[in-house]
Amino acid sequence: MNNMNPNRNELEKKIKISFKNKELLENVFIHRSYLNENRTFKLPSNEKLEFLGDSVLSLTTSIYLYKNYSHLQEGDYTDIKASVVRTESLALVSRELKLGQYLYLSVGEEKGNGREKTNILADVFESLIAGIFIDKGFDTAYDFIVKYLFSTRLDEIITKKLYLSPKSRLQEISQATYKELPIYNLLLAEGPEHKKTFTVEVMLKNKKVGSGSGKSKKHAEELAAQNALDVLAQ
């Protein structure tokens, strides 16, 4: 879609939210790269909206978890929140809503497939949240987030405990199935002292079920645990 003629009313129909301030909706999609080549453009970039949207999203997540998952602990809330608002989750919703087609991008970003970049799509989703919040108020923004981000993802994240680290999830499975903890063995530590790579294997019932390499022993263990989870899921 041409940067100068995005048909944003199609988006308004899709999300069933009609903006009173159409210029605010346009501002949602102004990527900073566009202004580098169009310095006299009437609107600023969407970076301030993105900042505000991040806060609205954080508050919405906290309220929703408190209201709907009262049996969980505060530590669980923190982990769940980090899981559901991560960049990849937000970009996924952006793709579903086709937000990328409305972006104002520089020629360079356009050629670099900027409309499909995960970080840009995540940012524009947060900008849209802010636009809805400013134009329609918190309740409408809250309902929008619940509908498009939470309804399809949050229950699965909580039910399957996807918010836990791979090591924590593997430990739960191991204790439930074998009544014992996974054992992590350091296989290799190579490279100069300031730039070592660690390779770790994870064992269940004296059998290797996964391995991983990372820049720290902890990171390698998490990757090994994720590898084990993938193997066990097959």
| Largest distance between two CA atoms of the chain | 67
Indicate which residue of 26, 126, 135, 201 is catalytic.
126
Q: Give the single-character DSSP code of 151.
A: T
CA distance 37 to 72: 49
The answer to whether 230 is a known catalytic residue is no
Nearest to 130 by CA among 63, 30, 33: 30
Sheet holding 207-214, edge to edge: 183-190, 197-204, 207-214
Whether 155 sits among the annotated catalytic residues: the reply is no
Q: Which residue positions form the known binding site for Mg(2+)? A: 50, 123, 126
Helix %, strand %, coil % for the chain, to 5? 60, 10, 25
Closest CA to 167 of 154, 181, 156: 181
Tokens encoding 109: 């970003």
Catalytic residue positions? 54, 126
